[in-house]
Structure 1
C-alpha cells in the first residue's frame, strides 16, 4: 500500500452526530459519506456554526468543491432552503456558484456541494482594508457600488436576501456572485409589500456601513438603480429605514458581546465572568490568567485609587490593561450589584466601533465575582498611539483643516446618535492617522430621552471648551462650530 493510500485510510469517517459534538474546530481532514456512497473529504474550514453547520473546502470525486454540511438534529429545513434559494438565483439568471451535488449524509444530516471558486474573496474581506477611509472614498465605492447594483438586480427579479451583508457577495475574477441560498426569499405579493420589503433589504446593507456613509446615500442608491428601473427609493424614506435597521442590528450585536458565540468567547463561573474577542482568546490567555502581573510588568500610565492603567507589550503588540479598583469597603458595597465599569466600557467600546467611531479596540473584559457579587474588574484594549488634543491643539490658533474636519465629524456623530461621553477632557481625545479616537468610556451613555441627552450634552460641551482659555482663538472657534445638541 502506498503512503498516499495509507494517509487516505487514516482519515476518519464521521457522521453528523459526531460532527455536532466537534465544537468550533473539527479535526482535519475528515470524510463524510452520502447515502449514495459518495465520499466528501473536508480539507479546510471556512465557517462553523457549532452543532449546526460546517462550511469548508473539500474534495469530491477528484474535484475541488465548497461543502456545506448540515448536521443539526433537525437540519432538513435549512438544507432545503439552501437548495431552493440557489435554484431561485439560477432561475433569475443571477450569478451564484453552481450546485454540483446535494443529498443526505449516511446516518443523518445533509450536504450541499457547489463549485469552488479558487482565488475568490468576499466583499467583507475587501472592505476590511478600506473601512477606515472617509465616506465616499473611491476604493470603498469600488466595493459598495457593484454590491448595490447586484442587489438591485436581485430585487428586480422579485427576490431578497434576508441575511444580507458584504460577506454574502463573492468576487471571482471580474464577476460578483451572490452566495448563501438559505437567506434568499421571494418578495411578498402586492406592490406596497414589495416596495417595503426591498427598501428594508437595501437599508439593511447600508446600515452596516459607518454612520458617515449616510452622506453617500444618493451615490449608493444610483448604483442600486443602475441595473433596474422599477425600484427607486426616496432618500428620506431610505434614511429612516436605515436608522431602523441600524438600531435592530445594534441591539443584536451588543447582546452578542456578552454571550458565547462565533465572535466572542464568554465564560461565567461563581468566581469570574470573562468576555473575549474570540480571535484574541489564545493570544490573550496568559495575560487574562494573571492580569495583575501584566500590569506590574507593564508601563504604568495611571495609578489611582479607582483605576490602574498600564501599557503592556504582548508578542510585539501594544495593549492597554485597565484595572478598576475597589478603594474601600463602602465602595465595594456600592459596586457589588451593578455591572462594573469594565463591563460598561466593554459594551461602550463595541457600540462606538459598531458606528464606525474610532476608539481603541476592546479585546477582553474580566469581572472577579463571589457568586452574583462583583468585585474588581479588568478591561483590555488595543493601545492607541498618537497625541491627545491637549498636546496637539494650541489655544492661540484655530484647528487646521484636517483637525477641524475630524473634530466636527466626531462631535457631529456623537450628537446625531445622542451619545454623551461624561468626561470630555482633551486628554480623552487621541489624534491618530488623521482621526480622533475617543478613550475612557466609563461614563458614556447613548440616550433614549432627548431631554436627558440635551442636559448631558451641554455638560460635555462645556467641559470640552474648558480645556482651553475662554478668550482664546481655539475656544472661540470650538464654541462657534461644535453642535449645540439642544
Structure 2
C-alpha cells in the first residue's frame, strides 16, 4: 500500500470510530452511568464506583478521605485543584475545576464544563487507539442553570509518570547506552502517536511533555498516554501549516529537555506516518523550527514578565520613597523589616560581609524562605555617581537589570540562583524631589547556591594543589562545560557583557564528569533577539580574557572552550580559526583600554 493510500485509510477508520459510541455505550447516560444528587451538586458515576466514591446521600467522600490521610494535592491554582487519593481499591485522581470569576461561568455556558469536555475528548482519543484517562465519575454544581465548579474522577494509570519528569530526572540517571536507546524509541513513538492524532483531526492546544504520561515495559519499549484534555480540539485532519503550528508547541517545550537530534527523529517519524500530506521532510522541518523559535520566545518573555508586578508568585509594594518586588516565598515579617530598614542586614551581627567596595556592599545571612531557614546573599548597589537617581529615571537601575535578567535566564532554563527580592530607595533631599528620577540606592537578595565555589576561586585556591594529570583533566571538563553554557546562553537570545570567572559558580562537585555551572552578578545580561555575531564575540573575548589571567588556564584550554561553543559542523570545518582571530583582536583592545584607564582585568 502506498503512503497516500495508508493515510487515506487511516483517516476513514478514525472517522468511523469517532461516530460509533464504542464498547462502553453513551457517555453520562443510563444504563452505563447512574445519577446521584446532593444539594446543588449532581453526579454521573459508574455503577461499580458509586459506593466507593459517593456517600449514600450522593456526596463525594473527599472529607472522609482527607481525614484518613489518603489525599495528596498534586496541583493547586486559581482555576483547578488536582489531588491523588490512595484508595484501598486503587489510587484515583480527583480534578476539581474552579470558577473564580464570571468569565469562567460564561465560558462554561457556551462550551460546557471542563470536566465534561475532558471526558468527551478522552472517549474520542480512545476511539482512535490513543491511550488516555478513563473517567468514572463527573460532578457538576449548578445554580439556576448556571454551571459552577465541576469535578472529574479517573483511576490512576499504573506505573506511568509525566514525560517531562522522565526526561528531566529519570533519563539522565540511566546507563548511557540504555538512555540512548530509550531516547531513540521515545522520539519515534511520540512522533507516531502525534501523527495518529493529527490524522484524526485532533489538535491539543496545550501540547507539552507535562501532558503526556510514559511507561516503559520490560524491553524498554515506551507506552504513551495523553492527559489534560480540555484544550483538545477535534475537526478535520490537520494540514501541513496547522500541523507545524501545533508541533511547534511540543517542540518548544522540548527545547530544554531533549536534544536537537531527538527532535529531528521525532519529526521524521511524524512525517513517515502522515506521508504526502506534509511534503518533503526538509521544508517541513524548517517550518516547524521557525515556528518553534517564535513560540518559545513569546512564552519565555511572558514568564519573565511575571517578576515585575503582583501575581501568585510575586508581590509588588510601592511607598512614597521606596518600592519593592519580592517573591511570596519570603517570610512576611522579614519582608516588612527590609521595607522599613533596607540597611538592617549590613549591621546584623550574624551576617557575614563578603564584599565592600565603592560600587557594592554584599553580605550573607539566613532568612526564612518557604518557612525554612535559607542562606541568602544580600547586595546593596551603592551610588557610583552623584546623579545616580537622575540616570535611573531614563534607564533601569543596576539592581532592576539584574533582577529581570535573573528571571529571563530562569524562564529559559538557564542555571542561576533564584532572586528573591529587589528594592529601591530614594535618598534625595526634599527640595530635589520634584525632579524626575529613579531610586538613588537599590538592593537585591538572591538564594545562595550551596555547596558552590566561583570559578575564579577554584582556579586560584583549589586547582593548583592537584597533581598535574588531575589539573589537565579538570581544565578539560571546565572548558567543555563553559563552552556549552555560553552556547545555550546565546542560543536563547541572551548576552552577558561582563562574563568573567568570578561571575560563574561551580555548583556541587567540581570533579563531576559534567560540572554544573551557573551565572551570577547579572547586571550585564541583555535580551537581544536575534543576537548579533559581534555580541557573541564580545562575550567570548571577555570570558577568555578573564580566564587567561589565571596561571592555571592556558591557550589550549581556551581553544577547547571555543570548540565546545561552536556547532559541531563549524568546528569540524575549521571555521573556529576565523572566530579565534576575532576574539584575539577583541582581547587586545580590552587590555589596552583597561591599561589606559588604570583598571585591572579581572
State whether TM-score is above 0.5: yes
Partner SS for 2:391: helix
Number of aligned pairs? 448
Match of 1:355 in 2: 412
- Of the three residues 117, 133, 137, the one matched with 1:84 is 117
Match of 2:512 in 1: none
Compute the displacement of 1:49 (Å): 4.5
- Residues 342/392 of structure 1: CA separation in 2 closer, same or farther (3 Å cut): same
Gaps of 5+ in 2: 1-37, 44-56, 218-222, 428-432, 509-514, 567-578, 583-602
Match of 2:200 in 1: 157
1:306 has 2:359 as partner: yes
Match of 2:303 in 1: 253
Matched-pair contact (CA < 8 Å) for 1:154–1:160: yes
Matched-pair contact (CA < 8 Å) for 2:346–2:363: yes
Cα distance between partner residues in 1 of 2:96 and 2:302: 28
Match of 2:48 in 1: none
Matched-pair contact (CA < 8 Å) for 2:204–2:246: no
- Of the three residues 325, 349, 359, the one matched with 1:275 is 325
Match of 2:135 in 1: 98
Cα distance between partner residues in 2 of 1:391 and 1:249: 36
- CA-based RMSD of the aligned residues comes to 4.4
Match of 1:241 in 2: 291
Match of 2:585 in 1: none
Match of 1:414 in 2: 489
Cα distance between partner residues in 2 of 1:193 and 1:118: 33
1:294 has 2:360 as partner: no
Match of 2:23 in 1: none
Cα distance between partner residues in 1 of 2:493 and 2:484: 14
1:474 has 2:554 as partner: yes
Bigger Rg over Cα:
2
1:182 has 2:240 as partner: no
- Residues 374/32 of structure 1: CA separation in 2 closer, same or farther (3 Å cut): farther
Matched-pair contact (CA < 8 Å) for 2:504–2:517: yes
Matched-pair contact (CA < 8 Å) for 1:187–1:197: no
Partner SS for 1:240: helix
Cα distance between partner residues in 1 of 2:492 and 2:203: 29
Where do residues 360-371 of structure 1 align in structure 2 (5 Å cutoff)? 360-368=417-425
- Residues 463/186 of structure 1: CA separation in 2 closer, same or farther (3 Å cut): same
CA-to-aligned-CA distance 1:389-414 (integer Å, 9 cap, x gap)? 32334799766442222011012223
Where do residues 77-476 of structure 1 align in structure 2 (5 Å cutoff)? 77-78=107-108, 80=112, 82=114, 83-93=116-126, 94=130, 95-98=132-135, 100-106=137-143, 108=146, 109-115=148-154, 117=156, 122-124=162-164, 129=169, 138=179, 141=183, 145=187, 150-170=193-213, 177-186=225-234, 191-207=239-255, 209=256, 213-221=259-267, 234=282, 235-280=285-330, 285=335, 288-289=338-339, 291-297=342-348, 298-314=351-367, 315-327=372-384, 329-368=386-425, 373-384=438-449, 385-393=451-459, 400-433=475-508, 434-448=515-529, 453-467=532-546, 468=548, 474-476=554-556
Matched-pair contact (CA < 8 Å) for 2:389–2:426: no
Partner SS for 1:167: helix
TM-score, normalising length: structure 2: 0.62
Gaps of 5+ in 1: 1-30
Cα distance between partner residues in 2 of 1:252 and 1:441: 20
Match of 2:571 in 1: none
Matched-pair contact (CA < 8 Å) for 1:66–1:114: yes
Compute the displacement of 1:183 (Å): 1.0
Partner SS for 2:206: coil
CA-to-aligned-CA distance 1:268-319 (integer Å, 9 cap, x gap)? 4545443334445669646755553334332111112222212222344322
Which of the pair is proportionally richer in helix? 2
Partner SS for 1:424: coil
Compute the displacement of 1:441 (Å): 0.6
Partner SS for 1:294: helix
Cα distance between partner residues in 2 of 1:228 and 1:110: 40
CA-to-aligned-CA distance 1:185-223 (integer Å, 9 cap, x gap)? 12566633443344334324324x25x733532344467
Cα distance between partner residues in 2 of 1:471 and 1:382: 31
Compute the displacement of 1:440 (Å): 0.9
TM-score, normalising length: structure 1: 0.75
Cα distance between partner residues in 2 of 1:223 and 1:132: 23
